[in-house]
Amino acid sequence: MNKVLVTGATRGIGKAVFDALSPFCDVYPTARNEALLKTLGAKDYCVCDLSKDIKPLLDFINKHQFDIIINNAGEYIYGGISEMTDEQISSIYNTNLISPVKIVSSAVPYMKSKKWGRIINIGSISGVMGEAYASLYSSTKSGLIGLTKALALELAEYNITVNTINPGWVDTELGNESVTESEFSKEEIVDCIPQKRFVEPCEVAGLVKYLISDEAKGITGQSINLCAGLSVGC
């Protein structure tokens, strides 16, 4: 069975991915909350705060040598750029962009040795379109798209695919917290989504499941919008 690392695996999209892949993969979750990690029943897990010290996770990767990496953990901060503190800037960039880079850097040597691997980054439609008052979030997610394209070229000859999934508004704790922080109500946001709904976490997990399959081996370097039509316009 392939060994899969899922970051931010205790809730939302990460939990849905863990549940979707567990029946046919050895899935190893990582998150900040050890109590929640224990409830998943995984063979092993790693407690790690990606905004601070990622070394425990890098050691975990070197120990287990993963075939598949799902960079899902993310942080969202809403507010004007002039209001952002140094701590907020460091925290969101470490979590959303720098940690995924370090994770991939640690995981790729093993994938190259096997000449097979799958890397999936969970981005955001905000990294595709931009989002006012979420410039830190948008820029980190946009960075994942650039990382994906370059790595796909770099790793293609090793049968390693790299793709990004860009969810729109998702019915998760983080998604609903983002609504609370914004200046719009949920009803106003839904009204701007062509399908008039939030995406379900299981939809993202289903796309992850497909992208790691052999049927998707020709898909690499892609930025796939799973947003209920939001990227097309209102």
**Per-residue pLDDT tens digits for 154-167:** 999 999 999 999 99
Question: Residue 124 has what DSSP assignment?
Answer: -
Decide if 175 contacts 168 (C-beta within 8 A): no
Range of the domain at 124: 3-226
Half-sphere exposure of 128 (CA within 13 A, CB side): 20
What's the domain count of the chain?
Answer: 1
pLDDT in tens, 103-125: 999 999 999 999 999 999 999 99
Residue at 233 is within a domain:
no
Question: Residue 158 has what DSSP assignment?
Answer: G
pLDDT in tens, 186-226: 888 888 888 999 999 999 999 999 999 999 999 999 999 99
Residue at 164 is within a domain:
yes
pLDDT in tens, 129-139: 988 999 999 99
Q: Burial letters for 150-183: b for 16+ Cβ neighbours within 10 Å, e otherwise?
A: ebbeebeeeebbbbbbbbbbbebeebeebbeebe
Between 169 and 68, where is the model more confident?
A: 68
Q: Burial letters for 197-228: b for 16+ Cβ neighbours within 10 Å, e otherwise?
A: ebbbbebbbebbbebbeeebeeebbbbebbbb
Q: What is the pTM of this model?
A: 0.94
In the prediction, which pLDDT does 222 show?
98
Residue at 210 is within a domain:
yes
Alpha-carbon gap, residue 170 to 121, rounded angstroms: 16
In the prediction, which pLDDT does 140 show?
98
The residues that are catalytic are 137
Report the CATH number at residue 134: 3.40.50.720
Residue at 231 is within a domain:
no
* 174 pLDDT higher than 80: no
pLDDT in tens, 76-102: 999 999 999 999 999 999 999 999 999
Tokens of 38: 């224990």
Residue at 61 is within a domain:
yes
Confidence of residue 234 (pLDDT cuts 50, 70, 90): low
Residue at 37 is within a domain:
yes
Residue at 75 is within a domain:
yes
* 17 pLDDT higher than 90: yes
User: What are the backbone dihedrals phi and psi of residue 88, each rounded to the nearest 5 degrees, phi first?
Assistant: -65, -40
Cβ neighbors of 45 (< 8 A, separation 6 or more) are 28, 29, 30, 31, 34, 37, 38
pLDDT in tens, 20-73: 999 999 999 999 999 999 999 999 999 999 999 999 999 999 999 999 999 999
In the prediction, which pLDDT does 188 show?
80
In the prediction, which pLDDT does 179 show?
64
Residue at 232 is within a domain:
no
